[in-house]
Structure 1
Amino acid sequence: AGVQQLALIASGTLIAAAAVSLTHSTTAAIAIALPLTTLLGNYTRFGDQGLYASSTALFVLTYGTYSATDIGHRLLESLLGAVVGIAVNALVLPPVHLRGVHDVLPGPPRQAARLARLMADDLEAGHGSDHAQNWKAQSDRLTQALADLRTARGWTQESLRLNPGHRLRRPPNVIPAPSWDMDWERVSHHLTALAGLLAEGTRDEPALAAPPTDVPARTAQLLRATADVCEGHARTLTEPWHEPDDSIAEAMQQARDALDQLKLFLLAQDDRETEAVVGALVARTQQLIHDLNRLARPGTSTGTPVGQ
């Protein structure tokens, strides 16, 4: 980023100086320099630093600092700033972005709990396709929470590179291992797929038949227990110690009991359309409970020092 920023500042400075030398007019130089620096800044290799080309050119032209001496001083100052910034971050005490990870860790279980509870409430109330749109919106929030966590992890790993002062001056922060993220991604996938499956029966021309009357109530019980499990994990992550919440095991047992009821209902059916829709629900909820159980078992969410 430092090299990108330095290259753009130098380019913006030189383009502005060349434009004013050719036109001898600040207004005309702005008309020439800004389109060129904007195009240069949009080049993908410069990433988020692209704005510096245009802003530097505009600064140079507005303040009239485009003599050979001024240009030389500006380039030297930019180079010195880049060298100092890189040296401090790499060798003295680099920034370690750990707070961001801790802040977003409860996001996936919290959003998963909200989605599961929203679906359970709507199923029990008998709401139709209009409320299925709310499931999609909440599912998108869950996906965004997982994306925020991936971004925070990336910043943490990036900030640990060339960081000799990290272990000497900062105590190691303990957070769940990256495999924890994968578990929640699977839970998110199952919940989203389950929402789509349940919403299918509310469409005008559904591919699957609407589930029998007893199925939504049983599915709502399972989803409510799932929400309790997710909320238990979220509460655990907001505490300074990562001890399992006793309510998680109780909620997991309730979810298994609800799944067993769905399986028994499936075995009692003799209609193929009903078997298809209930079988799909049973398969998806069993995968959901299996991955939640991986998170609920002692030791699977044990914290590890960041970067290990």
Structure 2
Amino acid sequence: MRRPDRYQLAQSLKAAAAAALAWAVTGWWLEAPMALMAPWAAVALVQGTVYRSVRTGVELVSMIAAGTLLAAGAAALTGNTMTAMLVALPLAVLLGDWAPVGNQGLYAPTTALFVLAYGSYSLPAVGHRLLETLVGAAVGVVVNALVLPPVHSLEVRRLASALPGDCARLLRRIGEGIDEDYPEARAAEWYESAGELYGVLADLRTARAWSTESIRFNPGHRFRRKGPPVPSDAWDGVWTRVSNRILTLTLTLLEAASERRLLPRPPAGTLTELSTLLTAAAEVCAVEQDVTEHGPGDETAARRHEHLTRAREALARMKRGEPAADPDARASAGSLMADAQALLDDLTPDERRQAGPDPRCLPVRPGHRDTGNT
């Protein structure tokens, strides 16, 4: 159990306020005979985004109307509650499963049960029930749109900052842990950590989808406090390639250390220079984390250039090193050099601009996770 964050608390309070307001409008002002439908609909429509509230509202009202009409029609035809249930419920469940309304399909049979259980299926009762549902839906959507409408951009910025930081920490661990006799267990740990980078990438894609959806129909997103621009989708592509390079590199190191593989270890000189290269590349990733959190600047550009230069010098020394006598060892060293060069190319800004626009020069793109994102 985690402590609720600000977003969850805000949405919970908004749902309670929407339910109370819907109850007041239908129960006190309209004097509806069964005001339960209004607060029920209002609570259900305080969703994670305003767009989702509107879309869910259409689906929910459709299913509640269908369940109400099916139950009222079955009761009018049969004149018996049990028989009406046997007629209406299969149709309501089938409709809820068949219609493209997602989880809202459950409201059709649930409403049919309410109508039949309370015996409120006369024409005036059906009209009141539909009116209460419409009022509750409208209250839920309006409250979600006007009271702290959720904008899911902080999660994108947090994950975009976490990814370069995770890469930096992993590259630093590899650089500090490589030696001529590094153990297989250590290489296996590097490889496992490199695979975990894809989890961050998947979370980032999900957060971008939430961010894009939260902008739609949202009247309040322009008034939120702005931070540094959120990197564009092209930025994700760059760090996907960086993660791929790290994974491939750690796999080569693992296979070279494994006794079950015939691939020999690279020469000691190659590993020494690779250690220097990866340590410098880790610092480049750390600079990118600073840029993501605080924006670009001359100082960060100078730091990036310094660390990239040191990494490319180490790569040049790797290439000039004395080749191993064993052809398999040369292949192992060549694979590491190719992966390292590709990694540095992906971390170089010029290469990034070829892959797409510089993400730091783009405005925040309204780019769907539902915690801590307001």
Q: Supply the distance in 1 between the matched residues of 2:304 and 2:71 (Cα, whole angstroms).
A: 63
Partner of 1:281: 336
Query: CA deviation digits over 1:143-164, x for unaligned, max 9?
Result: 1222222222222222333456
Report if aligned partners of 2:96, 2:105 keep a CA contact under 8 Å in 1. Answer: yes
What is the root-mean-square deviation of aligned Cα atoms in Å? 4.2
Partner of 2:317: 261
Q: Supply the distance in 2 between the matched residues of 1:95 and 1:84 (Cα, whole angstroms).
A: 16
Identity %: 34
1:129 is aligned, of 178, 184, 187, to 184
> Which amino acid in 1 is paired with 2:242?
V
Q: Is 1:304–2:348 an aligned residue pair?
A: no
Partner of 2:121: 68
Matched residue SS, 2:261: coil
Partner of 2:198: 143
| Shift, 1:286, TM fit | 0.4
Q: Is 1:242–2:300 an aligned residue pair?
A: no
**Bigger mean CA deviation after superposition, 278-287 or 122-131:** 122-131
Partner of 2:245: 190
Partner of 1:229: 284
Q: Supply the distance in 2 between the matched residues of 1:108 and 1:54 (Cα, whole angstroms).
A: 39
Q: Supply the distance in 2 between the matched residues of 1:248 and 1:223 (Cα, whole angstroms).
A: 14
| Shift, 1:90, TM fit | 7.7
Q: Supply the distance in 2 between the matched residues of 1:258 and 1:10 (Cα, whole angstroms).
A: 70
Query: CA deviation digits over 1:22-51, x for unaligned, max 9?
Result: 9967xxx7xx969x85x887779444xx2x
2:211 is aligned, of 156, 160, 171, to 156
Partner of 2:161: 106
| Shift, 1:108, TM fit | 1.2
Report if aligned partners of 1:177, 1:303 keep a CA contact under 8 Å in 2. Answer: no
Q: Supply the distance in 2 between the matched residues of 1:157 and 1:281 (Cα, whole angstroms).
A: 39
| Shift, 1:19, TM fit | 10
Q: Supply the distance in 2 between the matched residues of 1:12 and 1:126 (Cα, whole angstroms).
A: 70
Query: CA deviation digits over 1:187-213, x for unaligned, max 9?
Result: 111111111111111233325332223
Matched residue SS, 2:266: coil
Partner of 1:178: 233
2:307 is aligned, of 227, 238, 251, to 251
In the TM superposition, what are the counterparts of 1:25-44 in structure 2 within 5 Å?
A: none
Unaligned stretches of 5+ residues in structure 2: 1-54, 367-374
Q: Supply the distance in 2 between the matched residues of 1:20 and 1:136 (Cα, whole angstroms).
A: 65
Report if aligned partners of 1:114, 1:227 keep a CA contact under 8 Å in 2. Answer: yes
Matched residue SS, 1:175: coil
Structure with the larger RCO, 1 or 2 (CA within 8 Å, 6+ apart): 2
In the TM superposition, what are the counterparts of 1:191-206 in structure 2 within 5 Å?
A: 191-206=246-261
Query: CA deviation digits over 1:93-138, x for unaligned, max 9?
Result: 9643222222222011011112212322332484433233322332
Change (3 A) 1:218 1:56: farther
**Bigger mean CA deviation after superposition, 197-206 or 118-127:** 118-127
Q: Is 1:290–2:348 an aligned residue pair?
A: no
TM norm structure 2: 0.63
**Bigger mean CA deviation after superposition, 217-226 or 295-304:** 295-304
Change (3 A) 1:113 1:16: farther
- Larger of the two Rg values belongs to structure: 2
Matched residue SS, 2:362: strand
Q: Supply the distance in 1 between the matched residues of 2:66 and 2:184 (Cα, whole angstroms).
A: 55
Unaligned stretches of 5+ residues in structure 1: none
Report if aligned partners of 2:149, 2:218 keep a CA contact under 8 Å in 1. Answer: yes
> Which amino acid in 2 is paired with 1:263?
K
